[in-house]
Amino acid sequence: MNIAKNCVSRLSSYKNALTKLKNLGFTRVFSDNLADLISVTSSQVRKDFSLFGISGNRKGGYNIEELFNQINHILGKDIVHNIIIVGAGYIGKALMKYKTFEKEGIKIRAVFDSDPAKINRESSIPILPVKELKEFIQAQRIKIGIITVPENSAQLVLDQMIDAGIQGVLNFAPINLKEYPGIIINNVNIELELENVIYYTQTMENNKK
């Protein structure tokens, strides 16, 4: 069964919506409600669940607690994930300081940088020299890494990560990294997303005229 990326993203969104419903004290939810909460159709919700073998009660909707646990299990959120970041710049620091990751079972174990001035072994999340990257990844059995170095260092950093055994990467550098078999690379390209907004904003303006 090959699941489309969109579908996995929607699972994350359902999970998010369920967290909110849970906090509000709800116990049951219908495909309609979830659909509204994440702006999709209710058949999309049911189709997604059906793909992952998730089922509810006809007439009764879905038990939030149960649904939440099932989705979390599918997304692998029932275990803590240890990750590392390479690049202790602005984005790297933002990620490091983001409290929600910890709550969501995402634990940043270390940040690496090539600039000696950035090293700080005493920090609650240590900032280490990138030379120690491989050793750390292997010793701590880290599987997932985030790249927040400038564009021209990103491929080098990826190669080092893969060499050390990393299997999944989230990359913030605006560059098309080389693909490796069996390795997941997902890109966050902020400038591209902003250019999308610019494009549609001007398109919409032109349509009005």
Ligand X SMILES: NC(=O)c1ccc[n+]([C@@H]2O[C@H](COP(=O)([O-])OP(=O)(O)OC[C@H]3O[C@@H](n4cnc5c(N)ncnc54)[C@H](O)[C@@H]3O)[C@@H](O)[C@H]2O)c1
Partner DNA sequence: GATTTATTGTGAAAAAAATCACATAATAAA
Partner DNA sequence: TTTATTATGTGATTTTTTTCACAATAAATC
Q: Which residues bind ligand X (CB under 6 A)?
A: 86-92, 94-95, 98, 112-115, 118, 130, 148-151, 153, 156-157, 172-174, 190-191
Judged by beta carbon, residue 7 or residue 175, the one nearer DNA is 7
Q: Which does 26 bind (CB under 5 to 8 A by kind): ligand X, a second copy, DNA, none?
A: none
Q: How far apart are CA 32 and CA 160, in angstroms?
A: 46
Q: CA dist 68 to 24, 25, 56, 182, 184, Å?
A: 14, 14, 12, 29, 25
Q: How many residues does the chain have?
A: 209
Judged by beta carbon, residue 69 or residue 167, the one nearer a second copy is 167
Q: How far apart are CA 188 and CA 201, in angstroms?
A: 21
Q: How far apart are CA 12 and CA 3, in angstroms?
A: 13
The least CB distance from residue 69 to ligand X, in Å, is 23
Does 62 sit near DNA (CB under 7 A)? yes
Does 53 sit near a second copy (CB under 8 A)? no
The least CB distance from residue 11 to DNA, in Å, is 12
